[in-house]
Chains A and B, each alone.
Chain A
């Protein structure tokens, strides 16, 4: 039986205070997420329970009880204070999925700084943009990624502390670089956790838009109220679960449901710090007897590609509940998972800005394969007419997904960009930037983005950032980046490029440009196809008409071309 019985009753009667009550939120004036993910779990008698079982790609295993997490996060918090970092400072975590990433996140929150996790595969340009915007004071990284930090640090005057978690003692470190070993440092049993108020900033996650630089969605400590209860109900977490969230904490799923949700619920989670591999994943589930698995459609489609026979080689009978996030989960994937695992993946919808799941298929609810589900209790959701931003009352009509502001984990602003934040609201609704319809039973059906942002493997990539990087290549005169359909990743980046005089399109040049973007931005932003063109379609005012190129890729109607320059 799931953690609740009837969706309708729950939706009607729900109040966020229910979550606060379960958490004893605010007891002794404590609102800090870090406390609720470590010390509180120990205080309720689960200090010896495993909070994390971590396995590296080479099979190394490390286990941490909640008491270990409490002490190690204290140790990191104290270290950060000792090197001069203060409340409100932005501290970036730029690490692979190592234990220091998870526990360091808690440590940063405990000392009152703002955690700024960034995907460790980001290239130096992507890293620079986000550190520069946040005026980040410190970065916690590893030798593997130190080179990227070193190449940009001179352009970041505020970045005064570079903490390296795996340097050998006595290693040749440069100015502002500090060696720190979580496990070798003197353990801190007691730490004076920062008494953050509900509205004190906690986490800064960067996300992409169609225009301009990436934006930092700023969250506050009371986001915990949403993250705790959604993890409990949507992921159906229970005390005896072994939970696996495959997301990287460089993205919001990896912090909201890869750290805060499970740890605030006192659940044992497993972490695999290794690249994707079908059999590796099944063996991991079998080995740790994973019961709840939260993954992404891209991964599920990769598993589908390998077929059901390989599933049968493993004992996956421990799996009790499966959920998915990042991009719409296609009906075929839901049906396949029922055949492969004996249960469906439950699709969930939310975004960096919402901080927690907002529209979802809840356990116990009838699943309609391909649907996003219904609003989570406490969330008022609708679709709006894009012309007048009024709610659409006709079932099946496509509109803009919109949410009534006020749920606890909603972002409070975009860092240093209040104007863009305010532009996200129309008629008192927060506009998600996605399109959907609602059927006669209240289920939401995803249609697509309402802008040019590319959703690749569940990650949003801004075309502007890619085009800017492309223009830095010596051969590129003009560029446009669009999403093109992909059977596994939903969309991948395709670039249209007009070359400068003197350059000729070739395989070598194509590879050079592809790798140039990959290293500057990230593998996600890397074009998987380049089409060299003599020129790009533009409006008479000179703006590149990206939508024409996108429509061509998707086989859609081109629409109004009256403003086209060459028309």
Chain B
């Protein structure tokens, strides 16, 4: 389950936030926010995607740049709201 969700998020990040020919690879440890792949404004769209996909509401105080800085961090955050 967690592996499926990891893949789902990685695929979404690649599709939505990276240029096809950017030469940047994304795995579960890739820095997303601090590297600038997902800027702090775009993080809002990633949060919305997760909320709609899993029918959850992530409180603003939990949606920190650190919590979204890698797919693994996002999985850890999701575990608070979804049974993985």
* Residue positions of A touching B, CB distance < 8 A: 57-58, 96, 121, 143-148, 150, 273-280, 305-306, 457, 507-508, 510-511, 514-515, 518-519, 523-524, 526, 528
Contacts and interface: CB of A to CB of B under 8 A. Distances in A.
Interface in B11-43: 16, 19-24, 31, 33-36, 38-42
17 contacts: A57-B35, A58-B35, A121-B39, A121-B41, A143-B23, A146-B22, A147-B21, A276-B40, A276-B65, A277-B65, A278-B64, A278-B65, A507-B52, A511-B45, A511-B48, A514-B45, A518-B42
Given A277-B65, A526-B42, 8 more contacts: A121-B41, A273-B36, A274-B35, A276-B65, A511-B45, A523-B39, A523-B41, A523-B45
Main secondary structure, interface of B, reads loop
Interface of B: 16, 19-24, 31, 33-36, 38-42, 44-45, 48-49, 52, 60-61, 64-66, 69
A146 B40 contact: no
B34 A280 contact: yes
Given A524-B41, A526-B41, A147 B19 contact: yes
B45 A58 contact: no
A143 to B, nearest CB: 5
A514 B69 CA distance: 21
Nearest to A96: B36
A275 B61 contact: no
A150 to B, nearest CB: 8
B42 to A, nearest CB: 4
Nearest to B44: A528
Contacts of A508: 52
Contacts of B61: 305
Contacts of B33: 275-277
Nearest to A517: B45
Given A274-B36, A278-B64, A511-B48, A523 B42 contact: yes
Contacts of A515: 16, 45
A457 B41 contact: yes
A159 B1 CA distance: 49
A273 B31 CA distance: 13
What are the 3 closest A-B residue pairs judged by CB atoms, nearest first? Answer: A147-B19, A523-B41, A507-B52
- Among B40, B41, B44, max chain A CB count under 10 A is at B41
Contact of A514 (B19, B23, B48, B65): B48
A305 B40 CA distance: 15
A147 B20 contact: yes
B81 to A, nearest CB: 17
A313 B66 CA distance: 17
A14 B7 CA distance: 62
Q: What is the interface of chain A mostly: helix, strand, loop, or mixed? A: helix
B36 A518 contact: no
A528 B44 CA distance: 7
B36 A57 contact: yes
Contacts of B65: 275-278
B49 A511 contact: yes
Contact of B34 (A144, A147, A148, A274): A274
Nearest to B47: A528
A279 to B, nearest CB: 7
A247 to B, nearest CB: 14
Contacts of B21: 143, 146-147, 150
Contacts of B69: 277
Given A275-B39, A278-B64, A145 B19 contact: yes
A511 B52 contact: yes
A381 to B, nearest CB: 32
A518 B38 CA distance: 12
A519 B39 CA distance: 12
Nearest to B33: A275
B45 A275 contact: no
A124 to B, nearest CB: 10
Nearest to A507: B52
B44 A275 contact: no
B22 A275 contact: no
A274 B39 CA distance: 9
A144 B24 contact: yes
Contacts of A507: 52
A273 B37 CA distance: 12
Contacts of B42: 121, 518, 523, 526
Contacts of A58: 31, 35
Contacts of A96: 36
A170 B40 CA distance: 34
A510 B38 CA distance: 19
B66 A277 contact: yes
A305 B38 CA distance: 21
Given A275-B33, A275-B65, A147 B22 contact: yes
A485 B40 CA distance: 18
A275 B40 contact: yes
Contacts of A278: 64-66
Nearest to B52: A507
A273 B36 CA distance: 8
Contact of B45 (A145, A276, A305, A518): A518
B34 A57 contact: yes
Contacts of B19: 144-148
Nearest to B41: A523
Contacts of A528: 44
A206 to B, nearest CB: 18
Contacts of A148: 19
